[in-house]
Amino acid sequence: MPSPEAQETEAAPEKENPVDVGAEETAAAAQPRQKSWLVRHFSLLLRRDQQAQKAGQLFSGLLALNVVFLGGAFICSMIFNKVAVTLGDVWILLATLKVLSLLWLLYYVASTTRQPHAVLYQDPHAGPLWVRGSLVLFGSCTFCLNIFRVGYDVSHIHCKSQLRLFFPVIEMVFIGIQTWVLWKHCKDCVQVQTNFTRCGLMLTLATNLLLWVLAVTNDSMHREIEAELGVLMEKFSGNETNTCLCLNATVCEVFRKGYLMLYPFSTEYCLICCAVLFVMWKNVGRHVAHHMDAHPGITPFHLHGVIFGPLLGLLVLLAGVCVFVLFQIQASGPVIAFQYFILYYAFYVAVLPTMSLACLAGTAIHGLEERELDTVKNPTRSLDVVLLMGAALGQMGIAYFSIVAIVATRPHELLNRLILAYSLLLILQHITQNLFIIEGLHRRPLWEAVPEGVVGKQEAEPPRRGSLLELGQGLRRASLAYIHSYSHLNWKRRALKEISLFLIVCNITLWMMPAFGIHPEFENGLEKDFYGYRIWFAIVNFGLPLGVFYRMHSVGGLVEVYLGA
């Protein structure tokens, strides 16, 4: 007879055998599902679709790159060798690109979007109201700019070629149709004719980019206006010249002032169109989840008892309007007095450090918050961050050029010291504001988060089974979170809202002053004498439109931060 220990040892493998057999049966049952033909077929189709999308994006991107390089070569040749390549040659190339882009835009509206299952999804994050409003505003200003340009050319038609009238008319038609198409279809996720749509979007984007480059580098119209003003002064002094003069001096003055005032808006319009077209290009062939269509994250804009931020912002706005009006009245004369430059830069030196301190305080409060980071992939938010960082380079670039010019020449004069302080504070303010906005955009909004008290109560409750009960729990959790988030504001949320509203009003003020007025960066004469007219003209026309775009884009980002708090 075996001992009891031996019997237990022999019985142990017999107890383990059923477990091993069950594991083998489970593995055998799972193996056919992993190697199923249907799974392999769908994964192959998915891989082919992703490869086709990448190939289409690559081809359309190369098309845009070649068009930009060709146009850039024409513009550079015009700048460095005006005999071989003239401004008229550049206009002919851009007119051809505008006509091709117009044909594609009309085809997209008339044919592509009307096909069955063409636009099954729309990106709820693309084309917010402030972007489309800016598109219409700057498009209207650019349209009026071309009207002033046509009027100026008509007033000189007796001594200029009539072909000059052809190019502004084409641009006005291009601006009108493009603005209408982008307003109506900026959210589309096209699912048919994807490669052709990508190429059309990239061609239109390259055309707008070349228009921006030409607007930044071409100073022929400004030089012509300055030359005519110089000739008029010589004529009044008794010296006659053969320069082409306007037939009606009063009408030409209106066209001249309107052209110079609206000129920065053309570069703004091109930049906004490039951003909208790039988002549309990224959304071609994209499948948006159905739960994103409703976009529950949108909430109405309410103050919720926020007082100090709007009040301080309104004080800044009032002071900015007063400085702006005084400077514009003085700029309408032949020479701007020295004290008005002092007043203009002193206003900036007072406002910029206040904004920087507010941004630093907001960034510190973000670090104290308990909201989680939003790690969900969002192409629109990624583009917002890139545009925010890229647009900040405009004013920062002008600031660095001003710093070099001041330090190398006359750093001890009062106006130059103010300009130096303004440039340094502007760089600091851009850096701190970018940190605050980017940190706020990557925080999960409070309407998506659950309050601590509600979470604690729910974790204490035992889990319940059943889909209906889970659905009821989810609805109850969302309702309690909503009531909790809107019933009161803790100090961190209140501080974030105060800071966001203060920065919104300040950025609107700093957007208004360079967008609608004379630019002191070009009128004070320091940098223009140091770098030369042509180089400083290109620097200012490159940086100022980006600066205006940065202020406008910052307002949109700060509104998102305010709503998320």
Question: Crossing angle, helix 194-217 and helix 249-283, to 10 degrees?
Answer: 150
Non-local CB neighbours of 477 within 8 Å, separated by 6+ positions: 450, 454, 458
Which residues are 122's β-sheet partners?
A: 188
- Cβ–Cβ contacts within 10 Å for residue 111, how many? 12
- Tokens 């007033």, located at residue: 155
What is the per-residue pLDDT for 400? 92
Pick from 549, 551, 552, 561: nearest CA to 264: 549
Angle at 88 between CA 82 and CA 90, to 5 degrees: 80
d(CA 67, CA 63) in angstroms, rounded, equals 6
Question: Crossing angle, helix 194-217 and helix 533-564, to 10 degrees?
Answer: 130
The Cβ-side half-sphere exposure at 251, using a 13 Å CA radius, reads 13
Task: Name the CA radius of gyration of the chain, rounded.
Answer: 31
Show the tokens assigned to 471.
């659905």
What is the per-residue pLDDT for 1? 52
In terms of DSSP H, where are the helices of 284-307? none
Show the tokens assigned to 336.
């701007």
Cα end-to-end distance, the chain, whole Å: 80
Element holding 188 (H helix, E strand): strand 188-190
Print the SS3 string covering 109-161.
HHCHHHCCCCEEEECCCCCCHHHHHHHHHHHHHHHHHHHHHHHHHHHCCCCCC
Pick from 564, 529, 320: nearest CA to 441: 564
d(CA 124, CA 188) in angstroms, rounded, equals 9
Collapsed DSSP state (helix, strand, coil) of residue 82? coil
Which amino acid, 97? Answer: L
Collapsed DSSP state (helix, strand, coil) of residue 189? strand
Show the tokens assigned to 534.
């042509």
Verdict on whether the full-model pTM lies above 0.75: no
- Residue environment code for 511-548, b if the CB has 16+ CB neighbours within 10 A, otherwise e: bbbbbebbbbbbebebbbebbeeeebbbbbbbbbbbbb
- Cβ–Cβ contacts within 10 Å for residue 181, how many? 20
d(CA 379, CA 224) in angstroms, rounded, equals 44
E strand segments, 343-500 = none
Is the sign of the CA dihedral 224, 230, 233, 239 positive or negative? Answer: negative
Element holding 190 (H helix, E strand): strand 188-190
Burial of 430 (0-12, 13-18, 19+ CB in 10 A): buried
In terms of DSSP H, where are the helices of 286-337? 308-331
Element holding 104 (H helix, E strand): helix 87-110
Show the tokens assigned to 10.
């022999």
> Strand 188-190 vs strand 119-122: parallel, antiparallel, or unpaired?
antiparallel
Burial of 131 (0-12, 13-18, 19+ CB in 10 A): buried
Cα 419 → chain centroid: 27
Pick from 278, 126, 92, 268: nearest CA to 202: 278
pLDDT along the chain (565 residues), means of 10: 51 48 48 55 63 77 90 85 78 92 92 81 75 87 88 75 81 93 87 86 93 77 56 50 64 78 82 88 75 47 68 89 83 71 88 92 79 63 80 88 87 84 92 88 57 40 46 57 51 81 89 75 77 80 81 83 76
Collapsed DSSP state (helix, strand, coil) of residue 332? coil
